[in-house]
Amino acid sequence: MSVIDHENYFTSLPREYYLDEGRYTDELAKVWGQQWIYAGHVSQIPKSGDYFTFEVGTENILLVRDGDDVTAVHNVCRHRGLQLCNQPTGRVGRRIVCPYHSWTYGLDGKLLKATRQADGEFFDYKDFGLFPIHVSIWQGFIFISMAEVAPAPVASMIDEKATADMAILDPTRLKVAHEITYYADANWKLLLENGVECYHCPSVHPEFCVSLDSQEMSDYYEDDYVGDLVQGLVIPVKRELESLSMDGKYVSKKLLGEFGRGTPVPDGFGAGFMTQPGYAWGGFHPDYGMIASTLPISPTRSKMVCWWFVHEDAEEGVDYNVDELIKIWDVTNHQDLHIQERQQVGLTSQRYVPGPNSPSQEPGIRAALRKYLDMMGEPS
């Protein structure tokens, strides 16, 4: 019997699971070091030699555009370990050059030159390329995995309908209109658990509930939610409304993909995906999309990187205003992170014991935590 199963009900995890340093280190290896993690979108590195960096726990990952490919490597020089690129985003040009002693790598991560040490003189260059990381691109969205053997490609994990629905939006012709990194003094699993139930939506998110179809959202976790590492997701908007926004109206005039070319929007249209247990989700509507990637910093601290996407030709001030575009999610994210911090404080109490979760309102938690326990090698 797993730690979440009790005689008549299931619960969230015991106290130490959200506090323990040793467990956290294990999780970095067994969960975050294995699964696909959403890292960014191809439009962020349009030209060969463009890069961005991405942090997951102790690991800093360098993603570089290499012609049509995207290379992901550990951002650590093979000589004495310098972090190679230390900006969130930038250009390396045609080579990656370490600033300490000028060792030089190709855009594919191969060592091209170790200063004043010829190839084969003391060691073979081929043994000292940057450590590679798996990349899987689905519809322009970049996922990475630090596993030795990569999980199945993201495209093979997401069902056909979700893929077809996303394709309607021309997802490679998006641009990032805005990006925010939120921080919370809370264990990363509290962000996950919060994300996979809508039991809290009426109490916590009055604004979100204006356009969210919360019944359909709850049904998703009961019916469609398979608890896989990656899967399709729809953030359901009430039928009579246009988009997920403060008033349910479009927040970008330039509709995405086919809808911008005149195809009528079907009732209840939405597209997106989610990953878990390391939790990310993307929700796309006819006019815009938002992707959030939650990431661990320490046992009691996490962050959430959020990107807002609009049509690549949409003009700020004309087609959309950033304030309006981000408002519904920004309000909702702040509410959630505030609640998670308050939950972390609560479960720090020695007297905290997890209580019964609702089978009808919180089934997503059970599925997510089973997956988690399974990856951790514990009874699930």
Question: What is the binding site for ligand FES (CB under 6 A)?
Answer: 77, 79-80, 82, 98, 100-101, 103
Amino acid code (one letter) for 279: Y
- What is the nearest approach in angstroms of a copy of itself to the Cβ of residue 376? 17
76 binds a copy of itself (CB under 8 A): yes
Helix 322-347 and helix 188-195, axial crossing angle in degrees, nearest 10:
120
Residues in the interface with a copy of itself (CB under 8 A) total 59
Q: Whose Cβ is closer to ligand FES: residue 36's or residue 105's?
A: 105
Do residues 51 and 90 touch, judged by C-beta distance below 8 A?
yes
Q: Work out which of 17, 51, 141, 199 binds a copy of itself, going by CB under 8 A.
A: 199
157-186 footprint of a copy of itself as x/- string (CB under 8 A): ------------------------------
Q: Whose Cβ is closer to ligand FES: residue 12's or residue 34's?
A: 12
Token look-up 């969130």 returns: 88
Q: Work out which of 262, 264, 317, 355 binds a copy of itself, going by CB under 8 A.
A: 355
352 binds a copy of itself (CB under 8 A): yes
For 28, the token pair is 């970095």
Residues 90-149 that bind a copy of itself (CB under 8 A): 99-102, 114-117, 122-123, 128, 131
Describe the strand order of the beta sheet including 89-91 as a list of residue ranges.
Answer: 37-41, 141-145, 132-138, 69-74, 59-66, 50-56, 89-91
Q: How many C-beta neighbours within 10 Å does residue 105 have?
A: 26
- What is the nearest approach in angstroms of ligand FES to the Cβ of residue 71? 18
Distance CA 114, CA 103 (A): 5
- What is the nearest approach in angstroms of ligand FES to the Cβ of residue 98? 3
Amino acid code (one letter) for 144: I
Q: Whose Cβ is closer to ligand FES: residue 30's or residue 78's?
A: 78
Cis peptide before 277 (omega within 30 of 0): yes
- What is the nearest approach in angstroms of a copy of itself to the Cβ of residue 229? 21
What is the widest separation between alpha-carbon atoms in the chain?
71
Distance CA 66, CA 155 (A): 21
Do residues 10 and 117 touch, judged by C-beta distance below 8 A?
no
- What is the nearest approach in angstroms of ligand FES to the Cβ of residue 274? 22
268 binds a copy of itself (CB under 8 A): no
Q: Work out which of 23, 79, 110, 303 binds a copy of itself, going by CB under 8 A.
A: 79
Sequence-ordered list of residues with C-beta below 8 angstroms from that of 143, at least 6 positions apart, any chain:
36, 37, 38, 39, 135, 136, 137, 154, 230, 275
For 209, the token pair is 């509930």
Q: Whose Cβ is closer to a copy of itself: residue 219's or residue 258's?
A: 219
Q: Which residues bind a copy of itself (CB under 8 A)?
A: 8-9, 12, 28-29, 33, 58-60, 74-84, 86, 99-102, 114-117, 122-123, 128, 131, 193, 199-200, 202-204, 339, 342-343, 345-361
